[in-house]
Structure 1
Amino acid sequence: MKATSNNVMKGIFWSAVASAVWGISGTTVQFISQNQNLPSDWYLSIRTMGAGVILLIISLFMYGKKTFGVFSSWKTFGHLLAYAIFGLMANLLTFYISIQKGNASATTILQYLSPLFIVLGGIFIKKQRPLSTDMIAFVVALVGVILAITKGDFTQMSIPMDSLLWGIGSGITAAFYVVLPKPIAKDHPPIVILGWGTFIAGVLFNAYRPVWVDPPVITGGVVLSISTVILLGTIIPFGLLLYSSRFAPSDVISIMDALQPATTAVLSVIFLGLGMNWVEVVGIVLVIVAIYILQRGRKNMEQVGYREEDF
């Protein structure tokens, strides 16, 4: 029992580090979008292509020929393409624009609502009956988001309306990011799916805006910032998450995702001068609590033997 407990604690620790690293990446994206004067399309092209190439190289070392298994059938490739376009591409684009027009803290909170959008999709698209915890989580999350984006002043928002809409889009596409690769996730390693998805997204971004055409002025700060986002926003946290899954169950690991918006909020205050009052802090906490309620409710449903198809 002691060894098992130690393993779970090890999994919790590394998943917490992964979420904190993602939070650092969100703050870095805000710095890039608002201070480096980089065209959004050029930034997305170089980020996705760079991360995709590195992930595929890692996949080749880890899995060899299995890296190309996703091209074994048109059906598998179709799922991969949908994941690359509607999951990865759409999420990166909406996340970046929302931060560029608002701030990383608010956008990260909105993206963190993705589990709620997954449940809502099941309710309205698959006509699944919601659990009582789903409804509680929805109300708590709604109150939390309202407090976070108004800071208690209900006559105005702390972020522009377009940033809010792009942020909601980021949450919806983050849900696509989770759902779309599921049909092929059982047959192919996660890092292979992520690597090819990111690479395909990079190719498509470059088809629209090649990185070598009219590039911005490349300074040391630009290189450092983009490298930080590629490493801290994709490669390092994903690797840590894979490692943590060897020690702790997925529901425990998913709860540690709460550190991402919290880390982004704290770093935005410290390094980017973002003002934050106690009402906004309460709002962030409520959103985190809502996702916890949602995840625990779904986990309890599985433990008592219900199936998703029954709803």
Structure 2
Amino acid sequence: MNPQKNGEKSKMVTGTIVTIAGGILWGVSGVCGQYMFQNKGVTASWLVSVRLVVAGLLMLCYYFLTDREQTLAIWKSKRDRRDVIIYGLLGMLPCQYAYFQTIEWSNAGTATVIQYLGPALIVIWVCFRTKRMPTLQEITGVILAVIGVFLIATHGNPTSLALSGRALLMGLASAVSVAIYTLEPARLQKKYDTPLILAWGMTIGGVALTLISRPWTAKGIQADAEMFAALAFVIVFGTMAGFSLYMTGVKLIGSVKASLYACMEPVSSMILTVLWMKVNFTTPDLIGTLLVIATIIILAIPTKKNR
């Protein structure tokens, strides 16, 4: 057997597994966020500030203790400095804030599905950047994604919204930020460990949001054992582990495939939103969700050219 082919297959399998695992952790994390919004007086700006700063600093501490030289190397190059700051401020920060704000204004299942317009946007951007026409497969996927989000947003009636306008706009913003978040660090990932890039991105984005939202002034938060347990899951598993697994998947199998295989996020989020948060989804919601998931599956199927 060809060792090179075996190595590529192993790389693809590993990338797929870690991406799916990251997607599941993200889905659970979103529902934990909804739980804190509804029951513990937490706001999206507070949660995202704490989440990014704590997770980012913990990861940076690990790198400082294990490899201080590599930890600081990213700041020695002007281009690297620029890219990591852009990643933190335009990728990580809006990706997290828009997603959790959409959850606060709607629910975790809906927010996650709308966010999954991201893969369709990535396909459009890749076609534009490489100056090629989209394939029939890609066109079909994008159309299904748009129809799916349309059904979720309007329940099939274009004259009314089934969720608030601000929730829909913020959800669409989260989809755009997912595309930026996925594509922006590609060059940095060739030079530095993915978790290190994440650590700096989280810290930069978290500090920026903290200065704006000032979470220490928040009132009405019910800080009990349940709140801290949910917060710990969001930080450790939904942030540090989830993002590291996903971005490792991006490095192994590419941004397009990684964003598609992470479809376990809307699936796990939708299931938990129904079972744990007792949110009732209508038939248009479920059809819209299936169409978005179908988009991910269609775009993940390799074409003859790529087989």
Counterpart in the other structure of 1:202: 206
Counterpart in the other structure of 1:20: 24
Q: Does residue 226 in structure 1 map to residue 223 in structure 2?
A: no
Q: Does residue 108 in structure 1 map to residue 149 in structure 2?
A: no
Verify the 8 A CA contact 2:51 2:239 in the aligned structure 1. no
> By how many angstroms is 1:25 displaced?
0.6
Counterpart in the other structure of 2:150: 146
> By how many angstroms is 1:254 displaced?
4.7
Give the unaligned 5+ runs of structure 1. 305-311
Counterpart in the other structure of 1:283: 288
Q: How does 1:1-311 map to 2 (within 5 A)?
A: 12-61=16-65, 63-122=67-126, 128-152=132-156, 156-214=160-218, 216-217=220-221, 218-241=223-246, 249-250=253-254, 254-296=259-301, 303=306
Structure 1 pair 201–220 and aligned structure 2 pair: CA distance change class (3 A): same
> By how many angstroms is 1:204 displaced?
1.2
Q: Read off the aligned partner of 1:273 and give its amino acid letter.
A: K
C-alpha distance in structure 2 between counterparts of 1:203 and 1:228, whole Å: 20
Q: Equivalent residue of 1:72, what SS?
A: coil
Q: Equivalent residue of 2:187, what SS?
A: helix
Counterpart in the other structure of 1:309: none
Structure 1 pair 254–55 and aligned structure 2 pair: CA distance change class (3 A): same
Verify the 8 A CA contact 1:59 1:195 in the aligned structure 2. no
* Percent identity of equivalent pairs: 24
Q: Equivalent residue of 2:95, what SS?
A: helix
Q: Equivalent residue of 1:38, what SS?
A: coil
> By how many angstroms is 1:58 displaced?
3.0
Verify the 8 A CA contact 1:36 1:222 in the aligned structure 2. yes
Q: Read off the aligned partner of 2:236 and give its amino acid letter.
A: L
Verify the 8 A CA contact 2:261 2:300 in the aligned structure 1. no
> By how many angstroms is 1:51 displaced?
0.9
C-alpha distance in structure 1 between counterparts of 2:23 and 2:109, whole Å: 14
C-alpha distance in structure 2 between counterparts of 1:174 and 1:165, whole Å: 14
**TM-score under structure 1 normalisation?**
0.83
> By how many angstroms is 1:147 displaced?
2.6
> By how many angstroms is 1:287 displaced?
0.8
> By how many angstroms is 1:150 displaced?
3.7
Q: Which 10-residue stretch deviates more, 214-223 or 187-196?
A: 214-223
Structure 1 pair 66–127 and aligned structure 2 pair: CA distance change class (3 A): same
C-alpha distance in structure 1 between counterparts of 2:144 and 2:91, whole Å: 26
Verify the 8 A CA contact 1:89 1:201 in the aligned structure 2. yes
Give the unaligned 5+ runs of structure 2. none
| Aligned residue pairs, count | 300
**TM-score under structure 2 normalisation?**
0.84
Structure 1 pair 44–13 and aligned structure 2 pair: CA distance change class (3 A): closer
Q: Equivalent residue of 1:212, what SS?
A: helix
C-alpha distance in structure 1 between counterparts of 2:259 and 2:45, whole Å: 31
C-alpha distance in structure 2 between counterparts of 1:275 and 1:49, whole Å: 34
C-alpha distance in structure 2 between counterparts of 1:112 and 1:141, whole Å: 8
Verify the 8 A CA contact 1:19 1:260 in the aligned structure 2. yes
Verify the 8 A CA contact 1:42 1:215 in the aligned structure 2. no
